[in-house]
Amino acid sequence: MGTAEHRAGFDAGDQRVCQSPHYERLMPMIIERIDLMAAISVPREELPAQVTDIIKELVQEEQLSLNANEQDLLVNDIVSRVRRAADRLAIDETKGADART
């Protein structure tokens, strides 16, 4: 999936929950690493751990300082966005299938 298509699944208008100063820097990098189509099939209870791993990798790569509270808020924000985007993709696929029948 191309970057533009990939980001299109995320609602840019979603209100930001995490107020970390690193949010704006991390968000595009996190989105690029998350495959929405794969996220649809990930069990809901596993998604936070996967997002946490991505954030930890990026924090280390970018040499950022993120406290536990900021990380938790960022994880919750991203997981929420991924789930909404995955739900929208699933609905769009259902509508597309209905139109073809």
pLDDT average per 10 residues of sequence, the chain (101 residues):
45 54 83 80 89 93 90 89 81 65 56
Q: Any alpha helices (H) in the chain, and if so which ranges?
A: 3-8, 23-33, 36-41, 47-62, 68-100
Q: Are 71 and 23 in contact (CB under 8 A)?
A: no
pLDDT at 24: 81
- Looking up tokens 């991390």 gives 26
How far apart are alpha carbons 77 and 65 in whole angstroms?
18
Distance, CA of 94 to CA of 54 (rounded, Å): 30
Residue whose entry in the numeric block shows the structure tokens 């751990």: 49
